[in-house]
Every structure is written in structure tokens, then in C-alpha cells.
């Protein structure tokens, strides 16, 4: 049966639910885990490092586009994953003797390969999967033996199939430790449990990346709130001459807040997402309390939840302060606009007054112009009349001059008035 053509992303979207599967683990096993914070270029370099490690053990390297990769590399098994902000490496060695943390899985790696990895370590952890034993029933003894005397947190998980313990501390070797006591887990179940424990550790730290940013943003927010309070207080009694300076202070404050929000918005949003993942992974453990121990949920709620509340509080303060500054800016801008309108109105009235004065002056000039034209033209008529009388014609120059005065004056007035109407009409058009 021939189907219509596939959607271009059908296979990719279907396989998304199978992305980053857990590794099956047999008891006993040792694991070493690294999460490296990196940018896009460093993630690319991480892929090249994985390819180099595969070639050393004659294993086909992964394609450049893959997001996760797993392979048997001689004495150990490698699992590598790429994420948006970090990449993860898991090294697995099956079988253990004695202290499961004495010779961790990472010790079997080539000595020159590990230091060349790109990025910065955000989480480094050793995990051990061993068979449960009645001799390992005392949490205090386990803490003294494998957690440097620290009291671990933990619980029965997966319906009592295993006991998970960790102290959430970085030990002198730079690694934290997770111990999984196997009561009755299958390899895939053990792999899922270990993956969840390591993801809790990773997402917990990734969420906490926002806490230093929130703490650093607090003093700036306090200064901004004081500045806004001072500006709004001054705005109550400010005069027209004070408004431009106040508006400048508000716009600078608004720019500072916008810059701060652009610097922190992504980190705070990512912290919320990582915190949700931590809580979800803890839910998936299906914890049952062990007498005298904190569960993973209790440890998280006591230490991680306040940090996330701090980040949310700072983000809320930023948003609230930004809205308050925007309202104050709009209010002051309205006042400035009204002031400008009054100034423009006064300017227009002044221009109208000047125009009226110019019109009066122009009328006066027109009268003088008519008188001047009349004077000179009538004089020319008188000179012409004298010339005609000299030529023998009987013309009285004084009479001709007197008769020409009203005629010339009227013609001059009409001509100047006509010209003015033509100029004014063309100006209005």
C-alpha cells in the first residue's frame, strides 16, 4: 500500500521520544559523569573530541548532526549527549571490587584526552551500582565509609527496587558521589535510575546559575527604585523648566532597566525550566522515606526552592519597576507635551501679533509709496507740459500738474493694491 509523501520532519519528530535513552547497567558497575558548560563552538569541539576517542579504539565516530551517542570503547562504555547549554559525558565500567569509588571509571581514559575537552565543568560525579547487603543498612556508616563522614540524603526508590544515596557535596578529587544499592532492579531500570540521579545533580546546578545573577541584580534594583522615588517626588512640584531634566533621568533609568532585563531574562527563564526538570526527575524516582535521612525532595525544597524563589522575586521586581518607570515616563512626557503646546500657542500668538504689525506697517508703506509715486509722476507731467509750451502749445504747466495729481494718485493706489492682492493670493495658495 503506497502512502502519501511523509512530512519532512516525521521521522525526526517520532524519534524525539526516544532521544537520549538510558544506558542499561548491570550490578556491579562504576560510572563517571561530566557535564561541561559550553557555547556552540565548544560543542563542536566536543564532537571532535568524541570522534578522536572513537578512532583510538577503532570505533566508527558519530555523525556531526547527532545529539547523543553511545558505544563500547574497549575497557569502558561511552555515552555522550549534546544539549543547548552543555554537553554530558558518561563513562561506564562494569564490575567492581572493594571500594567502588577507589578506582573510578574515568581512570581508564587516555591520560591526554580528558584535559583537552572544551568547556567548563559544571558537574563532575562518580556513581556506583552495587548489590544491596544487610551490612550496608546503616546510613551513618555509609556516610563515614564513602561520603567523607557526611550524612547522605536518600530514599528507597522505584517501589523499593533500589536505595539511592548522595551527600550533594564535591569531594577532594573534584567529584560528587552517588551510591545506588541494588535490591531487585533490571539493567534498564538501574540505567534509568542512575540517569535521573545525575540529571537531578546537573539540572540543580544549571538552575542555580541564576542565583549569583539575582544577587548581583538586587543592589542595582534598589538604586533604581530610589531614583524612581526621587524623580516622582520631584515631579509633584516640578515646574516647566524642571521637566526636561526629569525626563532625561527617567529615560536613562528606563534604559538601565531594559539593559538589565535583557541580560537576565534568559537566565531566569532557563532557571525555571531547569527547576521544573529537577522536580520532575524527583517525582520519577518514587521515593520512600528511610528513617533518619532526608529525601531528595526534602533536600531540594529546603535548599533549591529558596534560591529559585529569590530569582523569581528579582525577575518580578524588574518587571514591576520597569512598568512603574514606563508609567512615570508617559506621565512626564504628557506634561512636557502640554508645556510645548502652550509654548507653541504663545509663539503662534506672537507671530500673529507680528503679522498684524507688519500689515499695518505695510499699509503705511503703501500710503507713502502712493505719495512718492504721485509726487514724481506729477513732476514729470509738469516738466512735459513746460516742454510742450516751449514748443508753442498753449498749455499751463501748473494746471497740468494739478490735474495729474489725483489721477496719478488713484492709479498708483490701485496698482499697488492690485499687486498686493496678487502676492497675498499666491502666498495663500
DSSP 149: T
| Alpha-helix runs per DSSP H in 179-291 | 187-208, 210-237, 243-285
Please report the pLDDT score of residue 166 as a whole number: 93
Termini Cα distance of the chain:
79
DSSP 114: G
- What is the SS3 assignment for 302? helix
Please report the pLDDT score of residue 424 as a whole number: 61
Which helix (H) or strand (E) covers residue 130, if one does? strand 120-131
Q: What pLDDT band is residue 362 in, cutting at 50, 70 and 90? A: low
What are phi and psi for residue 77, nearest 5 degrees?
-110, 135
Q: What pLDDT band is residue 63 in, cutting at 50, 70 and 90? A: very high
- Residue closest to 403 by CA, chosen among 384, 388, 418, 381: 381
pLDDT at residue 426 is higher than 70: no
**Distance in angstroms (rounded) separating the CA atoms of residues 221 and 76:** 51
Name 56's Cβ contacts closer than 8 Å, sequence gap at least 6: 73, 110, 113
pLDDT at residue 291 is higher than 80: yes
**Distance in angstroms (rounded) separating the CA atoms of residues 121 and 174:** 10
| Mean predicted confidence (pLDDT) in 178-184 | 93
| Mean predicted confidence (pLDDT) in 10-37 | 85
Do strands 120-131 and 29-37 pair parallel, antiparallel, or not at all (unpaired)? antiparallel
Hey, which residues does 30 pair with through a beta bridge? Answer: 93, 128
Length of the chain in terms of residues written: 429
Average per-residue pLDDT for the chain: 86
Cα–Cα separations (whole angstroms), residue 90 to 62, 93, 183, 296, 390: 16, 10, 23, 22, 131
Exposure on the CB side of residue 236, measured as CA atoms within 13 A: 5
Cα–Cα separations (whole angstroms), residue 176 to 84, 92, 197, 346, 421: 23, 16, 12, 76, 97
Please report the pLDDT score of residue 356 as a whole number: 75
- Residue closest to 254 by CA, chosen among 325, 316, 335: 325
Hey, which residues does 75 pair with through a beta bridge? Answer: none
Contact, 88 vs 77, CB < 8 A?
Answer: no
Q: What pLDDT band is residue 429 in, cutting at 50, 70 and 90? A: very low
pLDDT at residue 125 is higher than 70: yes
pTM recorded for the entire structure: 0.76
Please report the pLDDT score of residue 88 as a whole number: 95
| Mean predicted confidence (pLDDT) in 332-359 | 75
DSSP track, 217-237:
HHHHHHHHHHHHHHHHHHHHH
- Residue closest to 128 by CA, chosen among 144, 105, 108, 150: 105
> Which range, of 61-65, 188-192, 421-425, averages the lowest pLDDT?
421-425
C-alpha cell at 329: 515616563
Total Cβ atoms within 10 A of residue 423: 9
| Mean predicted confidence (pLDDT) in 268-277 | 94
C-alpha cell at 233: 517626588
Question: Percent of the chain having pLDDT more than 70?
Answer: 94
Cβ-based burial of 110 (10 A; exposed 0-12, middle 13-18, buried ≥19):
exposed
pLDDT at residue 428 is higher than 60: no
C-alpha cell at 385: 507740459
Per-residue pLDDT of 386-412, as tens digits, reads 877 787 777 777 777 778 888 877 887
Please report the pLDDT score of residue 359 as a whole number: 67
Per-residue pLDDT of 185-216, as tens digits, reads 999 999 999 999 999 999 999 999 999 999 99
- Placement of cell 500500500 in the chain: 1
Amino acid at each position: 500500500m503506497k502512502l502519501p509523501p511523509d512530512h519532512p520532519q516525521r521521522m525526526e519528530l517520532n524519534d524525539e521520544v526516544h532521544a537520549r535513552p538510558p544506558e542499561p547497567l548491570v550490578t556491579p558497575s562504576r560510572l563517571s559523569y561530566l557535564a561541561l558548560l559550553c557555547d556552540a563552538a565548544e560543542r563542536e569541539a566536543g564532537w571532535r573530541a568524541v570522534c578522536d576517542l572513537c578512532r583510538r579504539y577503532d570505533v566508527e565516530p558519530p555523525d556531526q548532526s547527532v545529539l547523543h551517542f553511545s558505544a563500547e570503547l574497549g575497557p569502558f562504555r561511552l555515552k555522550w549527549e549534546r544539549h543547548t547549554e552543555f554537553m554530558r559525558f558518561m563513562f561506564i565500567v562494569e564490575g567492581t571490587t572493594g571500594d567502588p569509588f577507589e578506582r573510578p571509571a574515568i581512570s581508564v581514559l587516555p591520560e591526554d584526552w580528558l584535559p583537552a575537552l572544551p568547556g567548563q565543568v559544571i558537574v563532575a560525579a562518580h556513581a556506583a551500582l552495587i548489590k544491596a547487603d544487610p551490612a550496608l543498612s546503616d546510613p551513618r556508616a555509609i556516610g563515614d565509609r564513602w561520603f567523607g563522614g557526611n550524612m547522605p540524603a536518600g530514599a528507597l526508590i522505584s517501589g523499593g527496587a533500589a536505595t539511592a544515596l548522595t551527600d550533594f557535596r564535591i569531594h577532594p578529587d573534584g567529584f560528587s558521589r552517588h551510591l545506588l544499592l541494588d535490591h531487585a532492579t533490571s539493567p534498564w531500570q538501574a540505567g534509568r535510575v542512575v540517569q535521573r540521579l545525575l540529571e537531578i545533580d546537573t539540572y540543580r546546578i544549571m538552575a542555580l546559575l541564576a542565583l549569583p545573577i539575582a544577587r548581583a541584580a538586587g543592589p542595582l534594583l534598589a538604586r533604581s527604585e530610589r531614583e524612581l522615588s526621587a524623580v516622582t517626588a520631584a515631579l509633584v512640584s516640578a515646574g516647566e523648566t524642571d521637566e526636561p531634566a526629569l525626563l532625561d533621568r527617567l529615560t536613562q533609568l528606563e534604559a538601565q532597566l531594559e539593559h538589565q532585563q535583557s541580560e537576565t531574562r534568559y537566565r531566569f527563564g532557563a532557571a525555571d525550566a531547569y527547576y521544573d526538570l529537577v522536580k520532575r526527575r524527583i517525582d520519577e524516582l518514587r521515593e520512600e522515606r528511610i528513617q533518619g535521612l532526608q529525601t531528595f525532595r526534602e533536600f531540594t525544597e529546603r535548599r533549591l526552592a529558596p534560591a529559585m524563589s529569590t530569582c523569581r522575586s528579582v525577575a518580578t521586581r524588574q518587571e514591576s519597576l520597569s512598568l512603574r518607570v514606563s508609567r512615570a515616563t508617559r506621565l512626564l512626557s504628557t506634561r512636557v507635551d502640554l508645556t510645548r503646546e502652550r509654548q507653541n500657542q504663545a509663539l503662534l500668538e506672537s507671530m500673529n501679533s507680528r503679522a498684524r504689525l507688519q500689515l499695518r506697517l505695510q499699509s503705511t508703506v503703501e500710503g507713502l509709496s502712493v505719495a512718492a509715486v504721485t509726487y514724481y509722476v506729477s513732476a514729470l507731467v509738469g516738466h512735459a507740459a513746460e516742454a510742450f509750451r516751449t514748443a508753442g502749445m498753449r498749455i499751463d504747466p501748473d494746471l497740468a500738474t494739478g490735474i495729474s495729481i489725483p489721477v496719478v494718485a488713484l492709479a498708483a493706489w490701485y496698482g499697488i493694491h492690485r499687486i498686493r492682492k496678487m502676492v497675498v493670493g499666491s502666498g495663500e495658495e
